[in-house]
Chains A and B, each alone.
Chain A
């Protein structure tokens, strides 16, 4: 062929070819890059790294297990195996014979079996024929029946043959087996010895990357089949996450990288140490069942190794701390049922570090996270250096909670509980929210924060209690009077007179603020009731001080405003967090003398509810003289310097402007002016006062007549934690203004990051900070008052608010849903609202008064076992009126009369019973134990010498004799009171294990636990033979068949305690006074006032004209 002429083209082919080539290469590169980025994923690196760590450990374990001893044993077994085989070889002929025999029998068995089965099948067919003939009334029925019978006989015969053949075959098999017994035995022994090695090898195979098997399974294009490196997820159908207007079930993929999160063995050193201490303590105290002791000791060994290791395991390969509470399979929150994001938040479905929403704890941490060596290369982050290539993701709705707020996630499910078991910080935080009264101004619509009392006192009777001069100074700056007060400061804050406010505006703001305070005071005092409170007798301040410090006032109150600083030893102003929360329930008593007047104080301490029926303070049943003594002590607590601060008179112009500002809302300017001309200053102040109370929301925390039913003034916080970051007003903080920090009121520098936790933290820390440097009209400025929270307090409150989200949780996941738990929780709410923990330990926490009582024998009782311990009818009576029975007459601290309504007392009683898993009503009180039990019980009682501490004399429960403290019998409860007070079975349980129920109790343990069996040892078992108890032995012997039976019973702690319980039951009294049978005399409510128009106090009035 002749060479072809080049074909002419319209396009420059060379160029096109070049373009095509280049783009093809580009496409190849892109495809390559796609495959690359799809295959090389970050999480694979982590799984590989984890596998490497596990492989290292397994190899270590193998080398430990494969030690010389093991090798020697295996070598010995090998030798035996060989010997066995030699034996078989020696008897080879016989062996072969036996095998041949067996084969022939196998064949015969097969044939016989087959014959039998075929015959049975034929029989079934014949049965059908017979039944068909019967139902169809065919003629050959009888013939068919005969055939059927024949076949049945044949089947039975064949069955017998089969059985015999089977027996013979088994015999032949056994003969063959005998040759091999030795070898089989050796094989079994070898397996026994190498089980753990085999297990480790199996684990190794699953994990190692060196095996070609795993390499192929994980190869780039083939890993869709069955890879060993894969994403690990848990689908949670009833826990929802908000995603673009939809609530979808969560799919948590965190354990793709956090491989060991639910595996013990990878704890951090700190966690391992903590676990070690706990486990060792439990082992010491024999609290672990004997069957589980071995496991516990193994775990201890493993933890010791972790603690002694050179390096800590780094995240993401760490075990979750506190595996028994979270994530562990036996914990209340197993990983497979709860996942991770329901507590920690974050993007559940993400598998990249940045996308998952990891939040750094500080700016410094964030800077370290931002670094990355190869930005485009996915994975293989230098995790040891914590460089993640992190970038803040502004589009993530639910970033993870920063570590200091990781308990915020509890609120979602546990909002139905007052205290969550096992976590301390969030409990403290919710109690602080309750104490400071955030729920009063900001509605929070979950059970924990609804139906709570208002944090401030009622202001309807303010004129009876104090003076306008004091009230003005108080509202202006509560902290100047009481440094630990819960009342926040509304006025003179940083957005009014702070450094960022221009000077002219500052002066004007001061005038406005003065005017508002004057108006509020005027309004309150003009509308106040003016009942006359009668005076009490003269009192002795010294006795009063003693009373206040001993009868229990100091549980709910503090009476100091200076404390000794721990570090420097100097005295400094007290702060709220210097005292436990329970002692802030009542107000700090310093300066009470300056604030109020003796008549009012006298009547208040006699009967607080006469002044205000909603008052939280209970009555201490003070006699007139005692009340007078307390009054004279309290009136001596003065703060005269507080009253020396000057009060600026209200600026007439300012009052006018503010009043006009309100009037203009409802009428024109001219009408407003006309109205103003008709209002004297006093009327303007009253008008302004009402509007100011509405503006600042005083009625949210205080009951003020005329303001009932108004909505709480603050933003509703029910789903504040879900609010998008862009909806928060950061004011002038941010990159645009280059301002990222400020100085808080206590002098500490704070930073504002553009994240939700930071906004909330800074808001509660300094509520007006987002007004810094902004120009706003007076009435538009931020109004939230300043609580002067410390950084720690502010962080705790932020945790609570972050936990209030709108992410749905399935009904069955909410905590404490069952009726028994609900009852217990309602009881606990009342306990929290009445501050029982000021004096008592409830649920292992509380007793704030303990440091103030020197002698531990005089502490109020521990109520942790109260539900199991006290009978409900008794408890109801006691709570309604504690004077019905004085169980511990030696104590000086008094149980107050709380004047509970029937419903409140019933809720408490039901709550205790629910917690103790008991029912409220039973007939045990009417049980009569048998005379024999009582007699045996009496002897055991005497042998254990219980009467050395417990009195057995019957007394009037309401008026027992005051004991002599030096007497040993004075500090233990009188046992005749047990029958109506204690639960029948609890008494025996208590005698057996008092140290477990109330740690540190004075009641000795007479039946210590046996470490081997977990049961109780009895000291009386061998005591029977000692001469000391000869008399008791003689008395007991008639009740038992023989001495052996007696000794056996003496060694049985349960039986002994039951007998003692019966004896105590037999000596108990049956009756006590009912609550309300005798009214504890309370001061009568005073007469109503005579004047119909209230008059303002003279001092203020003179200034107003």
Chain B
């Protein structure tokens, strides 16, 4: 071939090479990504992209066939003898109670009913925000009620009905702590907790060491505290399969599985042993 042909051939070759090598399409082959957190997160995020955002909305459609969970909390065995609260240090407190008050850690009714047990639904969906304020009263140098459960964001009105200094020292682990003094009789402080805290935390008074109260912050309003007769009742529960938890400050926590059908009035019993 002549020189020209050689050159032409060379030129064609270079052209072909230029086109071929100039950044071709990437062929994506999945190799192992290892544990570098960034790579893992891209992989993980792609896998679980949609899953993390789901909270099934229990909307108003379920209210029509809402069920009620009611029942009793029983206590078996010998109830621990509660010492009396020593109120001598504050003359006002002592004056409020002619007879000494037993410590409220364990309150057992005459027929073996356990009071002050928080019963709540563990895996119910988050409910509509509750604007009815919960009330925590300090009367006679005791917290009334001794144990409360509130919803996230629900306003809590803390009242001082006594003519003495009380301070409300709440010690939650997830929410922010606070310690407010209430020197004025009948003054009300309104607080709320913004994070769910299923493990009940203590609220105490630094002036009066015997005063104790427990509070739990739940994402919904399906909770109830057992009364002196051991009765509790959770209303407006949409039908479904739930885990019911009962918590007592001394005797710990118990769980039960319940299934409620539409408009059912289910009875549940918890038994704590001393």
Contact = CB atoms under 8 A, between A and B. Distances in A.
Contacts of A21: 7
Contacts of A310: 45-46, 49
Interface in B161-195: 163-165, 167-169, 171, 176-187, 189, 194
A284 B194 contact: yes
A383 to B, nearest CB: 9
B206 interface: yes
Contacts, number: 131
A1023 B46 CA distance: 60
Interface stretch (B32-40, B102-110, B237-245): B32-40
A723 interface: no
A382 B169 contact: no
A382 B53 contact: no
B89 A1006 contact: no
Interface in A272-299: 280-281, 284-285
Given A21-B7, A968-B208, A269 B41 contact: yes
Given A948-B90, A948-B164, A385 B183 contact: no
- Chief secondary structure at chain B's binding surface: loop
Interface in A377-410: 377, 380, 382, 384-386
Contacts of A281: 176
B259 interface: no
A949 B165 CA distance: 9
Interface in A41-56: none
A286 to B, nearest CB: 10
Main secondary structure of the interface of A (DSSP, over half): loop
A966 interface: yes
A373 B21 CA distance: 12
B38 A386 contact: yes
B185 A1028 contact: yes
A280 B89 contact: no
Contact of A365 (B36, B41, B164, B206): B36
A969 B165 CA distance: 12
Contacts of B163: 1028
B207 A948 contact: yes
A315 B38 contact: yes
B83 interface: no
Interface string B221-246: 00000000000000000000000000
Nearest to B93: A968
Interface in B192-208: 194, 206-208
A310 B178 CA distance: 36
A1083 B167 CA distance: 47
A482 to B, nearest CB: 36
- Interface centre among A380, A948, A966, by most chain B C-beta atoms within 10 angstroms, is A948
Interface stretch (A207-215, A550-558, A997-1005): A997-1005
Interface string A692-735: 00000000000000000000000000000000000000000000
Range, interface on chain B: 35 or more
Contacts of A22: 10
A1002 B206 contact: yes
Contacts of B10: 22, 25
A314 B45 CA distance: 12
B176 A382 contact: no
A1020 interface: yes
A194 B7 CA distance: 62
B6 interface: yes
Nearest to A1023: B184
A96 interface: no
Contact of A995 (B179, B186, B208): B179
Contact of B23 (A380, A943, A999, A1005): A380
B86 interface: yes
A361 B208 CA distance: 55
A384 B167 CA distance: 56
B14 interface: yes
A1008 interface: yes
Contacts of B23: 374, 377, 380
Interface in A33-66: none
A312 interface: yes
A1020 B181 CA distance: 12
Contacts of A374: 23
B164 A312 contact: no
A1019 B182 contact: yes
A18 B39 contact: no
B95 interface: no
A1019 B189 CA distance: 10
22 contacts: A17-B3, A18-B6, A284-B194, A310-B45, A312-B41, A315-B38, A364-B34, A386-B36, A944-B183, A945-B164, A945-B165, A948-B165, A949-B165, A969-B89, A1000-B171, A1003-B206, A1004-B179, A1004-B180, A1005-B180, A1019-B183, A1023-B187, A1028-B185
Interface of A: 14, 17-18, 21-22, 25, 29, 268-269, 280-281, 284-285, 308, 310-312, 314-315, 361, 364-365, 368, 371, 373-374, 377, 380, 382, 384-386, 943-946, 948-949, 966-969, 971, 994-995, 999-1006, 1008, 1019-1020, 1023, 1026, 1028-1029
Query: Which 6 A-B pairs rank lowest in CB-CB distance, beginning with the nearest?
Result: A1004-B181, A1004-B167, A945-B165, A1002-B206, A312-B41, A1023-B184
